[in-house]
Every structure is written in structure tokens, then in C-alpha cells.
Amino acid sequence: MNTEKTIKPFSIVIFGASGNLTSLKLIPALFELYHRGMLGKEFAIFGLARRPMTDQQFHEKLFDDVKNADKCGFAKPETWDEFCQHIHYVSGDGNDPSTFETLKSRLAALPFNNGKLGNCLFYCSVKPELFPDIAANISSSGLGSSSNPDEFRRLIIEKPFGFDLASARKLNEELSRHFQENQIYRIDHYLGKETVQNILALRFANRIFESVWNKDHLDHIQISVCEKVDVGERAGYYDQSGALRDMVQNHIMQLVSLVAMEEPKSLNANDIRNEKVKVIKAIRPVCENNCCCSVVTGQYTGGKIDDKDIVGYLDAPGVPKDSTTETFTAFRMYVDTPTMKDVPIYIRTGKALGKKTTEIGLFFKTVTNKLFDQACCPNGFNSLILRIQPNDGVSVNFFTRKTSQICLEPRELNFYYPDACPSPIPSAYEKLLHDALLGDQTLFIRSDETEAAWEFISPLIDSIKEKQKIPQPYEPGSFGPAKSDELMACGGRQWRN
């Protein structure tokens, strides 16, 4: 829920403005918001990076990337020129206090600030090691807070929020020395996706779903985040991270928390986040005792996806030949809450797989009567599938009688989001930047959420390391190693591909 109704005049300062995130995500999102009249007219965007550049050169660099963004804003190129009048460049270093003095004079010179520093949103699009220094410099320069209670100063940071539990705690502690928790916006772009936001509405506004969304009716849940892309040019980062840190600790934990949480008291940011934290804290440590419990890790080999050649992970530039970093993982977990206790939740994510798809599947227990012959159905479960991306939507799968037979056959009711929403669905970054400007923290991660997620993931990663588990090779274009299917098969289940 938004805490402020309208956007006040503001400045956004982007640290690391010469990077891809700025030109591929942040500027297109801000441009789209501007085009739709959602930023007002009194605002400034300051891109800050080390290399010297004029405003004009910065605009040209951004334009080269932004023009390829598939957004309606570009239907009117003159809007871009108008928008650029709000974009400025500052050459400087987030580590250097003098940069912040320059920034202050640029902020004070803005016509709508009347000599003051005004409302500021600081966006750290830089390596996480730099977050604490930037936060400290913002604070010591006097930019971190304002004596005017109507003025805001907020800090947005991008994942990773730490590398393990200890470093996540340290980061939270360092940031808290300079900013209050209600000023810190930890971005997880999955929370900005419309279909992810819809999970709560689907659950708590629909009795037909909520009444069966529990351990009495659910056989199991599947959460699959499959990507067709390989690690590409990100090997340097990815090899230090792997699927568990890159996808599970953040995006997938967020999906788990929304799917398993109890009804929040209200849609207030803290009520929702309180319930999410309870779920993450209630995750049972993943056991490794038998094949049904084991954690599968995989690494893609060389091969092809469609007609495209894929270089095997170990041959990707920047990856050590003996790397054991997982590009795929699958495991079964449980959330010990009153609603979900003992419902198996199967997680699967990986790179260079056969299909890009993010889906949450709820599979319901089979009916106990034997009136109809379920044996002729390929899969005996009713299911509710939330398609997060692509083909955003929801489908309900059930059985009907096969004409003139006692046999049943599966049928599907399908809701496709874009059919119901004629205007384009806002991108995750549009939604999140707009919320941060309004002071709404609902879709941002609180410090205790990130620590709780590490409390679960860190021991899992450590146990894989201790056991010196070698990831299973898998072919690009497949759905991961065979062991992932075995994990399902031993529970009498199968992945929905």
C-alpha cells in the first residue's frame, strides 16, 4: 500500500550509471513512467560514474541502449528529448567525499529545490562491496537525512545482499549505521512482476482457491524457474554465486514465502513482510539422508539450444576448468507452518534449459472415491498453475468424463493476463521505482527477511561443499540432470515441463 499519494518533486541519484542496469532497466523504466505522466515535471535524474562525460554524451549513450527497449514511449521520439532535459551526469567516485559536495551543489541548483537538497532517492547500481562506503558518504555529507519531516531520503540497493549469513548480517549492520530500515529499499525484481503481486489476490480474495490452499488438500507444490540463457558474459560473477545464491536465496525464497504465508492482517508493508518472514523462518533444513531428500546440482555441458551453439559451462571464459559451481539445482523442502506442514515443495532452477518458464504449480490430492477410472489419466492431480512468465496467467486443470466411457480425461481452464489487461503491464522496475518514490516498502525486502533466507541457504550450500558434491552434467536444452527427475519419481511425482 502506498504511503504517499502523489509523487513529490524529487531527484534520483544513480551510482554506477555507466553500467547495463542503468541503460537497460532503470532509464527505460523511468522513461516509461515519464511518458505515462507518472513522474510529474519537477524531477532530476543524476547518473554518477567515474568516467568523464558530458550530459550530452551521457544522453547519447543511454539513447543507444534505450531505443531498443520495446516500449510505447518510443512511439514519440520528441518525448525522449523532453525527458533528457531531466537527466544529468556527474563524474565522480562513490568512495570520494568530494563527489558528494559536487552532488549537493547540483541538487541545490535545481529550480524546484529552492537552494535546498530536496527529496532524494539514491540507487546503488554498483558492486555490493561498495554499498557501505556509499551509504557512509551519503550520510556524512548530510544527504542521508533531512531536518524537514516532509522531505525523504531513501536508499535502494540491488542483490546480492551478502554472500552468506555472516556477510548479510554485516551488510545490514553497516547500512543501519547510516540509514533507518524505513529508508532502505532492497530490490528483488521478482516482487515487481505483476503476476507475483497477484499471488496474494488470487489466494486471499478467492474462496475457491484459499479454501483448498493448505495441507489438507495439497499433494505438493512445484516452483520452477527455468532459463534458456546460459551464463553468457556474467561468468565472473556467476562462478562465485551459482544457482542457489543467484536465484534461490532471493527470487525463489520470495515466491515460497508468498505461496506459503498465512493471511496478513492488512496490505500494509510490515504486515505482509511479517508473514513472509514467518514462512522463511519455518523452512525445515533440507535433509540429505536418502535419494528422495537429496539436493540435485547440475552443470550444463556444451551443445545446442534450438540452433544456437552453447559453450559448456566449464569452457565459458572466466570459469575455472575444475569449477563445481552449480548452474542447476533441484530439491524438496518443507515449511513447518500450520497451513503448509508436510506439504512437499519442489524447487527447480537452472540455466541453459529447454524453455524459459517461471511457474508455480499447486497439485491437489486425488479424490478418495473410486467411481471413475483414473488409471487412464496421465497425471492424477487437479492442479492450479500460476504462470509468472511467459504467457502470464493462471490455469486450472481438472478432469471430465471421456465421451461414452468411464475413463476421465484432463481439461484446462486458462486465464491469460494480457487478454484481460489491454494496456501493457508495467515492467518490474517501473513498479518498484514508482513505489520507492511513493515510500511504499511492500515489495522490498526487509533486513530480517534476507537474513532468514540466508539462515536456510547458507547451511545448504555449506553441506554441498563439505560433501564435495560434483554437479551432474546436463545437456543444454534439457530440463536438467536425470537425478532431478529421480527426485520427483521417488515421491511418485513428476515435473510439469
In the complex, minimum distance from the CB of residue 225 to ligand BG6, in angstroms, rounded to a whole number: 7
Is the Cβ–Cβ distance between 255 and 196 less than 8 Å? yes
In the complex, minimum distance from the CB of residue 478 to ligand BG6, in angstroms, rounded to a whole number: 18
In the complex, minimum distance from the CB of residue 193 to ligand BG6, in angstroms, rounded to a whole number: 7
In the complex, minimum distance from the CB of residue 358 to ligand BG6, in angstroms, rounded to a whole number: 6
CA distances from 33 to 241, 377, 416 (A): 33, 48, 24
Residue among 119 and 250 whose Cβ is closer to ligand BG6: 250
In the complex, minimum distance from the CB of residue 484 to ligand BG6, in angstroms, rounded to a whole number: 19
Site string for ligand BG6, 460-479 (x = CB under 6 A): --------------------
Residue among 39 and 428 whose Cβ is closer to ligand BG6: 428
In the complex, minimum distance from the CB of residue 353 to ligand BG6, in angstroms, rounded to a whole number: 12
Is the Cβ–Cβ distance between 143 and 102 less than 8 Å? no
Residue among 121 and 191 whose Cβ is closer to ligand BG6: 191
Residue among 94 and 192 whose Cβ is closer to ligand BG6: 192
Residue among 258 and 340 whose Cβ is closer to ligand BG6: 258
In sequence order, the 6+-apart residues with CB closer than 8 A to the CB of 469 are 295, 297, 324
154-193: string of b/e by CB count within 10 Å (b at 16+)? bbbbbbbbbbbbebbeebbeebeebbeeebbbbbbbbbbb
Is the Cβ–Cβ distance between 470 and 324 less than 8 Å? yes
What would the grid cell of residue 485 be?
527427475
Residue among 144 and 476 whose Cβ is closer to ligand BG6: 476
Q: Which of residues 190-229 bind ligand BG6 (CB under 6 A)?
A: 227
Question: What element of type H or E holds 32?
Answer: helix 27-35
- Active-site position among 59, 88, 220, 251: 251
What would the grid cell of residue 327 be?
548452474
Sheet holding 393-401, edge to edge: 408-416, 393-401, 383-389, 357-364, 218-226, 345-350, 328-333, 296-300, 472-474
What would the grid cell of residue 310 be?
552453447
Q: Counting contacts by CB under 6 A, is residue 392 touching ligand BG6?
A: no
Residue among 358 and 447 whose Cβ is closer to ligand BG6: 358
Is the Cβ–Cβ distance between 158 and 124 less than 8 Å? yes
Residue nearest to ligand BG6 (CB): 246
CA angle 354, 356, 360 (to 5 degrees): 110
Residue among 325 and 358 whose Cβ is closer to ligand BG6: 358
Total residues at interface with ligand BG6 (CB under 6 A): 3
Q: First vs last Cα of the chain: how many Å apart?
A: 35
Q: Give the count of beta carbons closer than 10 Å to the beta carbon of residue 374.
A: 15
In the complex, minimum distance from the CB of residue 388 to ligand BG6, in angstroms, rounded to a whole number: 8
Sheet holding 153-158, edge to edge: 87-91, 43-49, 10-15, 119-124, 153-158, 184-187
Q: Counting contacts by CB under 6 A, is residue 246 touching ligand BG6?
A: yes
In the complex, minimum distance from the CB of residue 427 to ligand BG6, in angstroms, rounded to a whole number: 10
What would the DSSP string read from start to end of 377-442?
A: SS----EEEEEEESS-EEEEEEEEEPTTSSBEEEEEEEEEHHHH--SPPPPHHHHHHHHHHHT--T
Site string for ligand BG6, 350-379 (x = CB under 6 A): --------x---------------------
Matching residue, cell 507475483 = 196
Q: Counting contacts by CB under 6 A, is residue 158 touching ligand BG6?
A: no
CA distance 203 to 195: 12
Site string for ligand BG6, 226-245 (x = CB under 6 A): -x------------------
> For this structure, is 434 an active site residue?
no
Site string for ligand BG6, 293-322 (x = CB under 6 A): ------------------------------
Note the residues at the interface with ligand BG6 (CB under 6 A): 227, 246, 358
Catalytic residues: 251
